[in-house]
C-alpha cells in the first residue's frame, strides 16, 4: 500500500471520490479507478446534519476495503459528531480519517481528537470549509497528516469550484512540513486542477470528473488531472 503521508509525492496524487461512483457496482468502480492510475480513494461520509445530505456508513467503507485490500482509504467525515464515528470507520479499514474544524470548540479540541485517531493507528486529517477563516486552523496544523481545503460547500458532488480558496491553500502550504499532505476537494476537473496544483495542493479529490465519464477515459483523465504545465 502506498501511504501518501510517508514521503513527499513526486507528482500530484489523485483521489477519486467514490460519492460519484455507481453504488450498485462499487467494488468494480473502485478497482477500475485504481487500475486507471489513481493513488488513493476518497470516501465522503455525510450525516444529514452537518451537511444537508446522507451518503454512506462504515459498512460501505468495509466493503471498499474488501474490494481494494491494498488501497489507501481517505475517509472524509462531514458530520457534526466525529467523536462518535471515527472508531467505526477505522475498524472498517480507513487509513486516514479527517473531520471538520467547524465542529470543534477550540484548537485543543481538534488536537485531542487527532491524538485519539492516531492512537488507533490511523492518520488524522483536518478539513476547512470555504467560508471559514484560515485562522481557525492556527495552532492545529502540526497535529495532522493531511489538511483538506474544501473548494465547494460540502454536501454534494458536481458543484462549481470556488477559486477564492486557493489563497487559503497557499498560506497553509507555507506552514506545512514535508510529510504533511495538502488536499483540495470539490469541483476539481481538467479546467481547475492546474490552478490547484500551482497553489501548492499535492492531493486532488475528483468525483464527477472521473466517475461520470466512461471508464475507458479514466486513465487519461487521471493523467491529465495531475499534469503540471509550466508556463
Residues annotated as catalytic (active site), given as ranges: 44, 185
By C-beta, is 9 or 158 nearer to ligand DX5?
158
Binder of ligand DX5 out of 143, 165, 186, 197 (CB under 6 A): 186
Residue 147, H or E segment: strand 146-150
Q: Which does 157 bind (CB under 5 to 8 A by kind): Zn ion, ligand DX5, none?
A: ligand DX5
CB of 127 to ligand DX5, least distance (A): 8
Q: Which does 204 bind (CB under 5 to 8 A by kind): Zn ion, ligand DX5, none?
A: none
CB of 17 to Zn ion, least distance (A): 6
Binder of ligand DX5 out of 75, 104, 209, 225 (CB under 6 A): 209
202 binds Zn ion (CB under 5 A): no
185 binds Zn ion (CB under 5 A): yes
44 binds ligand DX5 (CB under 6 A): yes
By C-beta, is 22 or 119 nearer to Zn ion?
22
* Binding to Zn ion in span 71-130, by CB under 5 A: 76
- Assign 51 to helix, strand or coil: coil
Query: Cβ neighbours of residue 188 under 8 Å, at least 6 residues apart?
Result: 151, 161, 196, 204, 205, 206, 209, 225
17 secondary structure, DSSP code: B
* Neighbour-count burial for 141-165, b at 16+ CB within 10 Å, e otherwise: bebbbbbbbbbbebbbbeeebbeeb
By C-beta, is 125 or 186 nearer to ligand DX5?
186
205 binds ligand DX5 (CB under 6 A): yes
CB of 213 to ligand DX5, least distance (A): 11
The mark string for 77-116 relative to ligand DX5 (x by CB under 6 A, - otherwise) is ----------------------------------------
44 binds Zn ion (CB under 5 A): yes
43 binds ligand DX5 (CB under 6 A): no
19 binds ligand DX5 (CB under 6 A): yes
Q: Which does 183 bind (CB under 5 to 8 A by kind): Zn ion, ligand DX5, none?
A: none
Pairing of strands 41-46, 96-100: unpaired
Supply the DSSP string of 174-194, one letter for each residue: HH--TT-EEEEESS-STTTHH
Between CA 205 and CA 188 the distance in angstroms is: 7
Q: 219: exposed, middle or buried (C-beta count within 10 Å: 0-12, 13-18, 19+)? A: middle
Q: Backbone phi, then psi, for 149, in 5-degree steps? A: -100, 120
Between CA 229 and CA 191 the distance in angstroms is: 12
Q: In this structure, are residues 96 and 73 in contact, taking their beta carbons and an 8 Å threshold?
A: yes
Amino acid at each position: 500500500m502506498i501511504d501518501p503521508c510517508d514521503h513527499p509525492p513526486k507528482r500530484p496524487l489523485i483521489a477519486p471520490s467514490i460519492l460519484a461512483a455507481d453504488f450498485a457496482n462499487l467494488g468494480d468502480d473502485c478497482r477500475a479507478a485504481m487500475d486507471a492510475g489513481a493513488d488513493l480513494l476518497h470516501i465522503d461520509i455525510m450525516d444529514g446534519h452537518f451537511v444537508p445530505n446522507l451518503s454512506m456508513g462504515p459498512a460501505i467503507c468495509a466493503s471498499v476495503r474488501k474490494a481494494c485490500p491494498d488501497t489507501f482509504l481517505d475517509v472524509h467525515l462531514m458530520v457534526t459528531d466525529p467523536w462518535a464515528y471515527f472508531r467505526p470507520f477505522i475498524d472498517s479499514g480507513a487509513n486516514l480519517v479527517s473531520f471538520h474544524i467547524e465542529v470543534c470548540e477550540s484548537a485543543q479540541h481538534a488536537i485531542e481528537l487527532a491524538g485519539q485517531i492516531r492512537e488507533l493507528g490511523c492518520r488524522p486529517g483536518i478539513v476547512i470549509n470555504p467560508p471559514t477563516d484560515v485562522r481557525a486552523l492556527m495552532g492545529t496544523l502540526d497535529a495532522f497528516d493531511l489538511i483538506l481545503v474544501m473548494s465547494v460547500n460540502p454536501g454534494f458532488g458536481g458543484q462549481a469550484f470556488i477559486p477564492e480558496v486557493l489563497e487559503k491553500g497557499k498560506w497553509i502550504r507555507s506552514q506545512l512540513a514535508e510529510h504533511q499532505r495538502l488536499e483540495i476537494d470539490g469541483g476539481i476537473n481538467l479546467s481547475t486542477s492546474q490552478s490547484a496544483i500551482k497553489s501548492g495542493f499535492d492531493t486532488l479529490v475528483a468525483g464527477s470528473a472521473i466517475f461520470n465519464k466512461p471508464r475507458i477515459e479514466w486513465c487519461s483523465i487521471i493523467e491529465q488531472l495531475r499534469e503540471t504545465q509550466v508556463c
